[in-house]
Structure 1
Amino acid sequence: MTANQNNSNTHTFHTPFGRILAFRENGILKAKNIRYAYSERFKKPIAAKSSASEIIFPEKTPVCPQNISPLLEKMIGKTNLDDFEVDESPQYLSVFRPENCSENEKLSVIVWIHGGSYEIGCGDLSTADPTDWVKEQNIIVVSVSYRLGIFGFLGGNDTKLANLGLFDIIEALKWIKKNIPAFGGNSENITLFGQSSGGDAIAHLMISEGTENLFNRVIIHSAPLGLRKNRQKMSAEFLENTKMYNEKSDILEIIENYKNHVPSFLKYGLKAAMPFGTQYGFPPLCKEDEAEEKWRRRAKNIDVLIGLNDEETAFYLRASETLNKYIPSKILNKAIRATTEIIYGKPASDFADNFANAGGNVYLFRIYPRFKASNYFLGAHAIDLPFIFGNESAWKNAGILKNIPWEYIDENGKKLRKLWTEFAKTGKIADDSERPEILEVSKV
């Protein structure tokens, strides 16, 4: 690892990929928006070639074409569109490293795979800025952006390939494996960490072709594994209904109009809540009925930490003014409890049991914020993110945190980050390690 000081604000990392410029900010070095692959519409990614000239990050964060989510704006906070540049080939990653680390130190690496129903988001959002985690725990965090929605997770025929977003992430992991030692990272200690569809993607990367030896551990938060089965008919119908969009269609036209063709709740039930997703039976994945056996086969090679928040679906159900107006709170609470278990709880528990029965090292957790405040969302989907990432300024207007003092988030967050880092470094959580009060975690 060598990092040359260009001036007081920047460093250059000398990597197999080329000389990469990073800037120094708040005690860490950030090498942002490094292109790891290119793609043409509906085609597999091609790894980016190394460069002889210095690689300088773009001013704006590249982001896959997508619609703004009014729900996310209300619950998490407004997105400043001026910070982003729409790019249909959004294969970029960012590396965050402590500023002061010794020449021979090999830091544990955590790779962040963002969520957003395979439809929205990107790797570099302020609500998932890992600065606090990197500084406190002396680790490297790499965030990854990949294709979403119709560009990354529909497909299923000769002209529109399925699972393109998964192929993107695999290219990112190959890049990280090869280049992270030049940033001071340990390429033999890489943990994937994902929330929501990011966690679902990680579960499927574990059984994807071409991922052997690319990572050692996984931390899976709030993966909607209860929506993963029997999606073939729904995906085929969605693909058929959007067949008018081809490699020449205007991006804006696609983004504005695909919503008119999403699968119906009446026909497909809860699965229709996540119309895009990984698809079994297409590379790099196996057939659906082979998945559990494949996870069992990987059990000896990958350590797993998997779990959920206590009332995941409160994020959606309690945020709906219509539901709150017409449905009594007791019934709504029962619906939240039932749907949380169907989509997240039982599938996580079954996944952990399957893995443990095959000899795997697996921990199961549940996050229960217990602060006595008038807040409907204490155990809701995404409530874990401010605890994990910190960054008070990014979360200050989040509806999900209404009436919860930041001191409570910060105190529990520091303990949670320390515990998750212990798992990332060792694959274990010691019995005597301090737990935050929001957490229940046990070895399966």
Structure 2
Amino acid sequence: MTRSDAVRSGPVRYAVADRFARPRGVSPDDTRPAGAEVCPQLPSRLDAVMGRPRDRHPQGEDCLNLDVTTPARDAGKRPVMVWFHGGGFSSGAGLMDWYDGGALATEGDVVVVSVNYRLGALGYLCLDGVSEGNLGLYDQLEALRWVQANIAGYGGDPAQVTVFGQSAGALSILLLTRLPEARGLFRRAILQSAPLDIVTRSRTDAEDLGRMFAARLAAHAQGTDPADADPRTAEPATVLAAQRDTALAHAKCSGSTVEPPFGPVEGAGPLGSAGASPDAHVRGLDIMYGWNADDMTAFPGERGDPAELTRRMYAEPLGVLGERLERAGARVHAYRLDWRPAGSAFGATHCVELPLLLGSRAAWQTSPMLGHTPWHEVDALGRTLRAVWTSFARTGRPGTTVTPLVCGEVRRPGP
């Protein structure tokens, strides 16, 4: 079977939502066609590393849709892999060609689902009387409920769901493991380069940023339609302008080029039970986590040696997380990707594993992080990585790996 043999269905609507409202799952008799919209967003902070996406999608708020790629729409009961993209909770989309699951589906005989969710202020604004926050996380929950109810019709097994995601997508998955509402919606999880220091912010800080956003929005609306001063009715372009201003002000105050202004908030919505153990629901899950050896070269604005920054931001916190999850009853594996593409100034940087797992030559051919490495070399290593990921989705174990991918099982520390 070749990649072109995979059946790609989408976009498929999994939910609808009014602005700043929780999503509502679509009923089986809802026949409205899903559009190809992605959440309104500004250009990615990582364009210099990943390149600009070669495909273009209309931006709009009717964006709660997903793609399904399957070897066949039959009764195959294949493992299902649900992808949550990264982008700092402010950019990206599951519909992008970067995230085409054709290779994973055909080589691993799995069903791949790639999800859009709300981003930036539209997904994570926390502002009294306007938005409770964490709406993007609610979207992801609703997408997983859609998978449970519908994936058998695409040749998938709803009892064999693995969620996998990178950066902000990996942080989302970690939060999903903490939610009782998500229990039973997936069996396995893969966390790729999750920057744990920014997994959530306090509700107080989020509300401060929400008020800052509202003030920036009002400033942009001066002399225009008064409705543009209200977050609930402002034009998307005005929302994005206020979001950009808030991000610049936040970066100046925090000194961080990694931490986004809008993201998951403790004590809001599904994360409201702050007193519960964060690992109370991981028992029995298979979890694989890892990072890239030079993750922090993607963020040149951060002061310090990239190797030391990568150790502090990724390696050490993820190691602590792995031991904690293992103690809580999860079966845990770790990996580190050391691949440094020839001719790349970034090395084994943040996002460099993405073209090894998802997308195609056409989607990734202008990506700076790949340097001048020929695509046949990218694809050859990609086959190795894809085999590891799909083995984990099928068995809970990554299987045999070779350099430059270093894998191991997390062992419980001794007394």
TM norm structure 2: 0.89
Q: Is the 8 A contact 1:314 1:377 kept in 2?
A: yes
Counterpart Cα distance in 2 of 1:301 and 1:438: 29
Counterpart Cα distance in 1 of 2:206 and 2:93: 23
Counterpart Cα distance in 2 of 1:80 and 1:389: 15
Matched, 1:359 2:342: no
User: Once structures 1 and 2 are overlaid, which stretch shifts more, 183-192 or 266-275?
Assistant: 266-275
Equivalent residue for 1:40, pick from 8, 11, 18: 18
Q: Is the 8 A contact 2:290 2:334 kept in 1?
A: yes
1:189 aligned counterpart, secondary structure: strand
Residue in 1 that maps onto 2:256: 270
Q: Cα offset for 1:162?
A: 0.8
Equivalent residue for 1:412, pick from 366, 378, 381: 381
Q: Is the 8 A contact 1:312 1:340 kept in 2?
A: yes
Matched, 1:294 2:267: no
Greater strand share, 1 or 2?
A: 1
Task: From the superposition, tell whether residues 79 and 403 of structure 1 become closer, same or farther in structure 2 (CA, over 3 Å).
Answer: closer
Letter in structure 2 aligned against 1:50: P
Matched, 1:181 2:152: yes
Q: Is the 8 A contact 1:42 1:160 kept in 2?
A: yes
Q: Cα offset for 1:261?
A: 2.2
Q: What are the Cα deviations for residues 142-171 of structure 1, in whole angstroms up to 9, with x where unaligned?
A: 011010000001225342111000001111
Equivalent residue for 2:297, pick from 314, 317, 341: 314
Counterpart Cα distance in 1 of 2:187 and 2:312: 29
Residue in 1 that maps onto 2:367: 398
Task: From the superposition, tell whether residues 132 and 138 of structure 1 become closer, same or farther in structure 2 (CA, over 3 Å).
Answer: same
Equivalent residue for 2:76, pick from 96, 105, 110: 105
User: Once structures 1 and 2 are overlaid, which stretch shifts more, 340-349 or 182-191?
Assistant: 340-349
Letter in structure 1 aligned against 2:236: I
Residue in 2 that maps onto 1:76: 50
Q: Is the 8 A contact 1:303 1:362 kept in 2?
A: yes
Counterpart Cα distance in 2 of 1:52 and 1:354: 43
Letter in structure 2 aligned against 1:66: Q
Residue in 1 that maps onto 2:402: 436
1:377 aligned counterpart, secondary structure: coil
Q: Is the 8 A contact 2:200 2:264 kept in 1?
A: no
Q: Cα offset for 1:342?
A: 2.7
Q: Is the 8 A contact 2:80 2:111 kept in 1?
A: yes
Matched, 1:137 2:108: yes
Letter in structure 1 aligned against 2:58: E
Counterpart Cα distance in 1 of 2:154 and 2:365: 32
2:151 aligned counterpart, secondary structure: helix
RMSD between superposed Cα atoms in Å: 2.3
Q: Is the 8 A contact 1:227 1:270 kept in 2?
A: no
Residue in 1 that maps onto 2:396: 427
Residue in 1 that maps onto 2:288: 305
Residues 227-376 of structure 1 mapped to structure 2, 5 A cutoff: 227-228=198-199, 230-243=201-214, 244=218, 245-262=230-247, 263-265=249-251, 267-270=253-256, 273-288=259-274, 290=276, 293-295=277-279, 297-317=280-300, 335-370=305-340, 373-376=342-345
Residues 98-247 of structure 1 mapped to structure 2, 5 A cutoff: 98-99=71-72, 103-228=74-199, 230-243=201-214, 244=218, 245-247=230-232
User: Once structures 1 and 2 are overlaid, which stretch shifts more, 404-413 or 116-125?
Assistant: 404-413
Counterpart Cα distance in 1 of 2:340 and 2:64: 39
Counterpart Cα distance in 2 of 1:204 and 1:286: 12
Residue in 2 that maps onto 1:91: 64
2:105 aligned counterpart, secondary structure: helix
1:84 aligned counterpart, secondary structure: coil
Q: Is the 8 A contact 1:264 1:272 kept in 2?
A: no
Counterpart Cα distance in 2 of 1:89 and 1:104: 31
Task: From the superposition, tell whether residues 142 and 230 of structure 1 become closer, same or farther in structure 2 (CA, over 3 Å).
Answer: closer
Residue in 2 that maps onto 1:329: none
Task: From the superposition, tell whether residues 130 and 261 of structure 1 become closer, same or farther in structure 2 (CA, over 3 Å).
Answer: same
Counterpart Cα distance in 2 of 1:233 and 1:252: 27
Percent identical residues? 27
Task: From the superposition, tell whether residues 57 and 299 of structure 1 become closer, same or farther in structure 2 (CA, over 3 Å).
Answer: closer
Counterpart Cα distance in 2 of 1:52 and 1:44: 18
Q: What are the Cα deviations for residues 286-315 of structure 1, in whole angstroms up to 9, with x where unaligned?
A: 45564xx231x2232311000111111101
TM norm structure 1: 0.83
2:46 aligned counterpart, secondary structure: helix
Counterpart Cα distance in 2 of 1:217 and 1:151: 29
Letter in structure 2 aligned against 1:89: D
Q: Cα offset for 1:28?
A: 1.2
Q: How many residues align?
A: 394
Gap runs ≥5 in structure 2: 219-229, 411-415
Task: From the superposition, tell whether residues 408 and 289 of structure 1 become closer, same or farther in structure 2 (CA, over 3 Å).
Answer: farther
Q: Cα offset for 1:106?
A: 0.8
Q: What are the Cα deviations for residues 402-444 of structure 1, in whole angstroms up to 9, with x where unaligned?
A: 12222322111101111111111111234xx2x1322111100
Q: Cα offset for 1:25?
A: 8.3
Counterpart Cα distance in 2 of 1:34 and 1:209: 26
Counterpart Cα distance in 2 of 1:272 and 1:104: 44
Letter in structure 2 aligned against 1:51: D
Letter in structure 1 aligned against 2:154: F
2:157 aligned counterpart, secondary structure: strand
Counterpart Cα distance in 2 of 1:305 and 1:95: 23
Counterpart Cα distance in 2 of 1:419 and 1:45: 34
Q: What are the Cα deviations for residues 156-190 of structure 1, in whole angstroms up to 9, with x where unaligned?
A: 53421110000011111111101111111101000
User: Once structures 1 and 2 are overlaid, which stretch shifts more, 196-205 or 256-265?
Assistant: 256-265
Task: From the superposition, tell whether residues 349 and 287 of structure 1 become closer, same or farther in structure 2 (CA, over 3 Å).
Answer: farther
Counterpart Cα distance in 2 of 1:264 and 1:95: 37
